[in-house]
Each structure stands twice: as C-alpha cells, then as structure tokens.
Amino acid sequence: MRVVTCSACGAQTPAGKRFCIHCGAPVQVSCPVCGDPVLPGARFCAECGTALRDDSRQHQLASENAVPSSVAERRLVSVLFTDLVGFTALSEPRDPEAVRDLLSRYFDRCRTLIERYGGTVEKFIGDAVMAVWGTPVAREDDAERAVRAALEVTRSVTLLGEEVGMPELRVRAGVLTGQAAVGLGAEGDGMVLGDTVNTACRLQSLSEPGTVLVDDVTRRASEAAIAYEDAGTHEVKGRERAVHTFRALRVVAGAGGARRRPGLEASLVGRDRELQSIIESFEATVSERRARLVSVLGEAGSGKSRLVWEFDKYIDGIEKVVRWHQGRCLSYGEGVTYWALAEIIRASARILEEEDAPSARQKLRASIEEHVPEEREPSLIEPRLAHLLGLEQRTARDRADLFSGWRLFFERIAARKPVVLVFEDLQWADSGLLDFIDYLLEWSAEFPLFMLGLGRPDLLSARPAWRPTITLEPLADEAMAQLLGGLVPGLPEELASQIRQRSEGVPLYAVETVRMLLDRELVAQDGARYAITGDITDLEVPETLQALVAARLDNLDTSERALLQDAAVIGQSFTPATVAAVVKNPQAEVELVLRSLVAKQVLAFIDEPLSAERGQYVFLQGLVRTIALSTLSRRDLKARHLAVARHLQETWGEEAGDIAEVLASHYLDAVEAEPEAPDAEAIRASACQTLADAGRRALSLALGPEARRHFERAAELVADPALRGRLLREAGMAARMSGALDDSLALLSA
C-alpha cells in the first residue's frame, strides 16, 4: 500500500485519501520534487518549476509521483550547461546521417569528460548537455571538477571540429554553484531542479563561443586551481540581482588545487610543535642518510597543507640544497593510481599538463640525463617513467620491474642532494602508490629520502604501521583567537567569538568564514582595524565549507548518514533512546550505528553514569549538524521536527512543561520549514499553547522568572491582540512574583 507523510502529525497515512487517519488533518499536497506546498489549480510548482497535473488529479500526483522521504534532498550542486554554437546553420548543408554521427561523437566526448571528473550527465537537450556535480555524492572540490570538465569539453569540441572538417565548430559553457532540489523521478532517473539549474542554463547562453562562464560562488570555490578574468555583471531572467560572472581561462595548479588562494594569509598558530617535529625528522634523515616517512593526519581544513607550506619555507631558508618534490592524489578520473607520483615526475622534468607526447618524452629524457650520471641506467629508467606518464603504450609490465626503475631515479637524485617527497591526499591513494612508498622505505633505506604523507585519519587503517604519525587536533580557543587577530585585526569581539565558536578549532573554517564576510562586504578594513559594515545577525555557511562537510557526510554509509540527519533534528546532543523512538528502529541497532559514527569522529559519547541513559551522544562539530540539517527537504525537515515533538510530548506527559522551550522550538522549526503550509498556524498555536501551559505550571510552583519567560515567548507567537494581551498580563503577574514591580506594571498595562 502506498503511503504519504501527514504534514500535521508526521505519521504515515494511505496515499490518495483526503484526511490523515491518525489526526484527521487534511492531507496536504506538495510538489513531488522540492516539497513546496502546491497551490490550488497550479500547473507548475512555484518554488522549483516542476510541471504538475491538473487540480482534479493533485492527490494522484502526490501519491504516485511523490519523491520518497529518504531520497528527496536539498543539496549544494555545481551545474554545467554546454551548447554547440550555431549548430543548426552549420548542419544544414550536411547529410542527416553525418549530422547524427557528429552529434553522437559530441555527446560521447562530453559524457566521457564529465564522468572523468566525477560528474553525472543529467540530460541531453537538442545539442545541449546538462551535467551536475554534488549529487548523488558530494565532494569538496565539486565546483573545481565542473570547471575543469567545462574547459576540457570546449577544447575537445574544437578538436572535433578540425577532425570532421568543421573548424568553426565551437561550444559555449556555463557553470553555476548553488542549492537545488534533488530527488528521483518516476522512472528512477536523477532530477536536479530549481533556480540554480535555470540560471546555469542562462549563464551558458551569455558565454562567447569556445569559452566558459562561471558565477562568483563557483569562482571562489575553485580559484586555487583555475585562473579567471572578470566578465562583468549580467542581468539574468528570474534573478532579482545581476549575476557577477567570470571567464575561466586555464588550469593553473595540479589536480586538486595546489596553488595557494590569493588574499587572506594567516600566520601559523598552534602548530609549532608539529612543525618542529617534521623539521627534526628531516634533519635526522639528512645527518643519518636514512630514508624516513612521517604521516600527517587530520580532517579537512585542519592545516595539513599549511604545515607543509611552512616546512617548504624552512627548506627554502637553509643553506643546504634540497630537492623538493610534491604530488597530490586524485579522487577521480582515469589512470589515477600513481597520479601523485606522475605529478612529481612531470614537475621534475618541467612537462606541462597539455604538452604533446614527443616534447614531453624529450624533456623526460633530459631530466633523467641531468640526474643520472651512469651511462647504462638512463635506458633502464626512461621507459619505466614514460610508462608511468602514459608516454608509451601501456602494455602489461611486471610491477616489481616498474618499481625498481622508479626507485632508481629517486636514489640517483638523493645520492647528490637530500630529497623531500610530499604526497598529499593519501586517503584517496590506491594501494599501488602506498605499496611503492613502502617499497622506497625498504629498498632505499640508505638514501636521504624524506617522505611526508598527508591524509585524513582513516589513512591509518590502510597503513597502521606507518610511524611516526602527527595528528592535527582542533586548535585551542586561544590559538583561534590569535589566528583571527592576524587575519582581521581589531574585529569586534562579538563577531570574532561567533566565528571561533562556529569554527570549533578548525583553521580553514575560520579563514573561509572571514573570506565570505569580506567578499560580501559585511566586514571591511577601516585603517589598521576591521569593522562590521553589514548585517551579520545570521551568519551563513560559506559554500566552500558546505562542500567540505557535505563530502564528509557522503563518505559515510547510507545508514550512518540517514541516522545522522535524524539525530541532527533532535539537537546538538541526544540519547540513543530518543533517536530509536523517532526513527522507529530497535535501540540496539541504533546504538551500533552511533558507535560507528563515534569511531569515525563525527559524534562523541559523553559518559554520565548517574543518568538513566548512562550518557548521551553529541556532534563533535556543530557545522556537521548544520549541514546534515540543510540536506533535508523542507517537507522531510518539517515531518521530522513534528515527530520529535510528538515523541517528547508522549515521553514527558504531564511533565512536558519542564522541556517546554525545547518542545516549542521543534514546533517553530517545523513552521519555519514550510511557513506557507495550510497547517502552519495550527502548529504555531501548538507552540504557543506549550509555552503558556509551561508558564502556568511554573507560576503554580512559584517560579516567577521561568514563568515570565514562557509567557513572553508565547506572546511573541500570536497575532490576535486579545490573546497576546492575556499572555502579557500573565507575564506581568510572574514578574510581580519575582519582585520586578516596574516590569510587572508595564506588562499588566500592555
């Protein structure tokens, strides 16, 4: 039997019925994609533009095509649109079959490149292509991936035109990053809808042939790896404000963005001990002429790359000559197994990313001859490095044979000068690269090879024997204050404290929040200090951080991610019994998932031996909870808040007044999720009644201050002047009980 979720009580009720079988409320019809309430007679959703059936069949639409709660989400996505320029005119004189074959080759190239960078082709429309990053799995560099793919597509189509005798063939592209409604359609195909999609399409139409236009959000998220030029602001249909656009020019960094972002630069704080440990290990490598590996582990944004940058500055400042090589592991694309190693070899030989094979082979040969003096050894090393770089046909080779050739190259460099090898993002490395690092440690032990391996904490599970390990813990509040003081001196303490609290010891969180405030002109420099220049009442989460945290959540198992969303609705802290009751699963099963989330450092368990539950779980970072909540559709968010409220009401019974504010907050959050819903006023009234009942209970117990607070909050929720007056008078009585006579008179006369 098909069921839908009642918008009033959150319970499941048979689909197609007009009223809920649990509470009798009318079953509200919502958009099947974004969950927005459907207005009577509407043919299209007013929120996301989804086509709706006629009014007489709205209930059928809700029951048959509604997106399941576990699927419909709101996500930060990067959307790419490409379109062949003037293709209709170009194809008119051509044979229809030739045109069909050309389109087929175009679509194949687009799909290959989009999927290489981890995107999903959403649809082909005529000669246009729509692709999306950020769903079904988010990655922290989705915006960068989308722009890289767009640049590749524009180049590939130009080459395609030359191949088929149409040198004028060009594609234009647009990339836009923003929130979108994401779900599964009736046929099971992915659907991404909303203003972000519409604007991305219009952005593409503004770009010149052979170019890629992006919005400011995409530019900020990818400027570490992509060079841009300002393309001005444009009025875009459907947008109240003009869109500031930028033209993507070229990739300027290795995979993943090795170039440091312009602008803000904070001094290194709270990591002196870790930096000194790296320096001492390096010095021991040089003095003892023994290979060493140091692992630096930490969550995204904890400062791993910054620590390496500081070590690089140290190396640059010492007298001895050191050969520095750095490579980054890829989480996407083809041939990525040894990508970091290949990146090191390319940089050593000064081979450019787009260099043709003959030129690259010549540079590789020159680099080997420079570092390898033995006459016979270059002939052993060159074909094996060429195989690594894809400069020769990759026929099957023995791995030990490849490893020996690569090892010999690094040994010959280290025989002359100490060598530093930095491998970034090793959590994405294939076992092949990790095995080669182990191989170097064993077979090149008597050479001054100093290796730094950077990765997330789960790297340790893949290589538990790697020692020493430096783990970057969250910075102390004092260190975060020092970091902010260096970034934005004189920032008002109220705002600085808010940023520190949100950042929770993660340096990148603080830096990106400050960057957002400066970009949006909410904070500006005033002489030697920084001042607030805009409304900062509700600080948004920068898109860069949204992507970072969303990627972490999507790396969790499906059951873990779903449970985390439910727990996020309950609050920053919660008991397993509450979660189990809300999700209607056995507590033992819920606790297994919660313990797994603790092991993955998403949650922590606070031991409370004297409590009935023996303790409770808490989110280690409030930002994780915020992003988990933001991924829920408004419909799901509302239903979950009502489910939590219902559970609390049932559990506390007559004692519910003790948690009146918590209970009321869930009612109000449900209203905020869908403020225009037909039952919004009824839910708001429930919050008001909850607070008023709690106030009267507090009055009966002579708890004047608590009673006054409850009555005043209840009064804020009602529009009816008479009811509001009664609640304020009750607040006045509570104030008089507390001895606040002046306040009492003011409230009683309200």
Q: By C-alpha distance, which of 347, 368, 471, 360 is closest to 421?
A: 347
Query: Strand 323-328 vs strand 419-424: parallel, antiparallel, or unpaired?
Result: parallel
Query: If one looks up domain 73-251 in CATH, what number appears?
Result: 3.30.70.1230
On whether the CB atoms of residues 449 and 282 are closer than 8 A, the answer is: no
The beta-strand segments (E) located in 88-189 are 120-125, 128-133, 171-184
Residue 14: beta bridge partners? 3
pLDDT at 695: 85
* Whole-angstrom distance, CA of residue 509 vs CA of residue 503: 5
Q: By C-alpha distance, which of 190, 66, 173, 80 is closest to 137?
A: 190
pLDDT at 449: 97
Which residues fall within 8 angstroms of residue 175, CB to CB, at 6 or more apart?
A: 78, 79, 80, 143, 146, 147, 150, 200, 203, 212, 213, 214, 215, 218, 248
Quickly list DSSP for 661-710.
Answer: HHHHHHHHHHHHHSTTSTTHHHHHHHHHHHHHHHHHHHHHTT-HHHHHHH
pLDDT at 403: 94
Mean pLDDT, 10 residues at a time, the chain of 750 residues: 49 54 48 46 48 34 32 86 84 79 90 92 89 90 94 93 87 94 57 87 92 94 90 84 91 54 70 95 96 93 90 90 90 70 91 84 92 86 91 78 94 94 90 93 95 91 88 92 90 90 88 86 86 82 86 89 94 91 91 92 82 79 90 91 90 79 86 88 87 83 85 85 86 84 77
Interhelix angle 587-599/576-583, nearest 10 degrees: 120
Q: Where are the domains positioned within the chain?
A: 73-251, 272-471, 477-533, 550-748
pLDDT at 324: 94
Query: What is the tally of helices (H) and strands (E) in the chain?
Result: 28, 20
* Whole-angstrom distance, CA of residue 358 vs CA of residue 116: 25
Query: Strand 523-526 vs strand 529-532: parallel, antiparallel, or unpaired?
Result: antiparallel
pLDDT at 52: 43
pLDDT at 211: 95
pLDDT at 448: 96
Tokens of 170: 């060009």
> How many CB atoms sit inside 10 A of residue 179's CB?
16
3-state secondary structure of 277: helix
Cite the DSSP H helix spans in 351-492: 357-371, 377-389, 399-416, 431-443, 459-462, 477-487
Give the Å distances, CA to CA, from 538 to 493, 499, 534, 535, 688. Answer: 16, 12, 11, 8, 24
pLDDT at 438: 95
* Whole-angstrom distance, CA of residue 157 vs CA of residue 583: 50
Tokens of 147: 């722009």
CATH number assigned to the domain with residue range 272-471, chosen from the 4 options 3.40.50.1980, 3.30.2140.20, 3.30.210.10, 3.40.50.300? 3.40.50.300
The beta-strand segments (E) located in 58-162 are 73-84, 120-125, 128-133
The beta-strand segments (E) located in 154-275 are 171-184, 190-193, 212-215, 226-234, 243-251
* Whole-angstrom distance, CA of residue 445 vs CA of residue 439: 9
User: Which of 487-517 are b and which e, b meaning 16 or more Cβ less than 10 Å from the residue's Cβ?
Assistant: bbeebeeebbeebbebbbbbbbbbbbbbbbb
pLDDT at 43: 46
On whether the CB atoms of residues 634 and 34 are closer than 8 A, the answer is: yes
* Whole-angstrom distance, CA of residue 329 vs CA of residue 331: 7
Q: By C-alpha distance, which of 152, 144, 104 is closest to 124?
A: 104
What is the phi/psi pair of residue 276, to 5°?
Answer: -65, -35
Tokens of 22: 């649990």
On whether the CB atoms of residues 110 and 82 are closer than 8 A, the answer is: yes
